[in-house]
Amino acid sequence: MDILSPQNPRVKEWAQLLEKKHRDKQHKYIIEGIHLVQEALRSGADLECVAFDVEQGIPTELSHMTGAAAEVEWIGVSAAVIAKCSDTKTPQPVFAIVRKQSADMDVLLRNKNSLVIVLDGVQDPGNVGTIIRTADAAGADGVIVGRGSADIYNPKTIRSTMGSIFHLPVVEGDLLELLPEAKESGVRVVSTSLKATSTCYGYDFTGPSWLLVGNEAKGVSEAAQQLVDDSLIIPMKGQAESLNVAMASTVMLFEAMRQRDFNQGS
């Protein structure tokens, strides 16, 4: 059944998902655009419904996926409904409502040689999303998002992941509980520091390595810093003072991937 009125009770519930408190309350979030909806369907995410612009019809890229999950409801909606449920200036003609599926630490600890990136108070949704996307690209086992970081279900975060949020476990929690548990199982916690003497290129990332990155302005919190085993510096030849947190994460993740998968002679 089509829903054309922005005043419809379901539409009001969907639009509320643009706010964190309602995402927490409903245990759902909203994703927008053909690419994200496609990735969610492909990855078997728990979709409640897909809403598409009734005048344009189901986008061709998605038309063959309508039977992908029998329990997903496909609903034609008006442009006014789409505008109400979007936080972008020019909304795309499709969005979906996804039920949250929380990942837990066991998934990450099961792999004896895990590569994980850990976020301590990274507040910019674009940075959080980019780091999740980079972790996916570098073949990391997962991402841990500590308290005080941007909400992973914020529409801006989700957009920045480009669908990677559906490809690898993203665990939310208290780093002061999670990191000691990881260390007990043999993980080394690695962080960057401008004061460090060892470089990320001289470090051995082939063992279980969890890379800890901190807040854009303040860096890693003092409490989390106490749990760091090895501090590294990313060497820079130019005159920039430092790298953005997402860029620094990328350098370390790809160096770890290079050592693990592209070592000379292998």
Is residue 2 situated within a structural domain? no
pLDDT of residue 194: 84
pLDDT of residue 71: 86
Is residue 88 situated within a structural domain? yes
**255 and 156 together in one domain:** yes
Chain-centroid distance, C-alpha 259: 24
Domains held by the chain: number: 2
Is residue 3 situated within a structural domain? no
User: Could you tell me if 245 and 127 are in contact, meaning their C-beta atoms sit under 8 angstroms apart?
Assistant: yes
**167 and 251 together in one domain:** yes
**129 and 253 together in one domain:** yes
Q: Which CATH number characterizes residue 164's domain? A: 3.40.1280.10
pLDDT of residue 117: 98
Q: What is the pLDDT of residues 198-246, one digit of tens each?
A: 999 999 999 999 999 999 999 999 999 999 999 999 999 999 988 999 9
**39 and 113 together in one domain:** no
User: Could you tell me if 127 and 159 are in contact, meaning their C-beta atoms sit under 8 angstroms apart?
Assistant: no
Q: Which domain holds residue 18?
A: 9-99
Is residue 66 situated within a structural domain? yes
pLDDT of residue 41: 95
**44 and 88 together in one domain:** yes
**174 and 87 together in one domain:** no
Question: 8, exposed or middle or buried, with CB in 10 Å at 0-12, 13-18, 19+?
Answer: middle
Q: What is this structure's pTM?
A: 0.95
Q: Tell which residue, 174, 166, 159, 168, has the closest CA to residue 221.
A: 174
pLDDT of residue 264: 65
Half-sphere exposure at residue 226, Cβ-oriented, CA atoms within 13 angstroms: 6
User: Could you tell me if 165 and 138 are in contact, meaning their C-beta atoms sit under 8 angstroms apart?
Assistant: no
Q: Which CATH number characterizes residue 54's domain? A: 3.30.1330.30
Is residue 121 situated within a structural domain? yes
Last residue within a domain, chosen from 65, 82, 99: 99
Q: Parallel, antiparallel, or unpaired for β 115-120 and 142-146?
A: parallel
**224 and 130 together in one domain:** yes
**212 and 109 together in one domain:** yes
**232 and 140 together in one domain:** yes
Q: Which amino acid is at 40?
A: A
Last residue within a domain, chosen from 47, 74, 99: 99
pLDDT of residue 233: 95
Q: What are phi and psi of 41, to 5 degrees?
A: -65, -45
In the predicted model, residues of the chain with pLDDT beneath 70 are 68-69, 264-266
Is residue 23 situated within a structural domain? yes
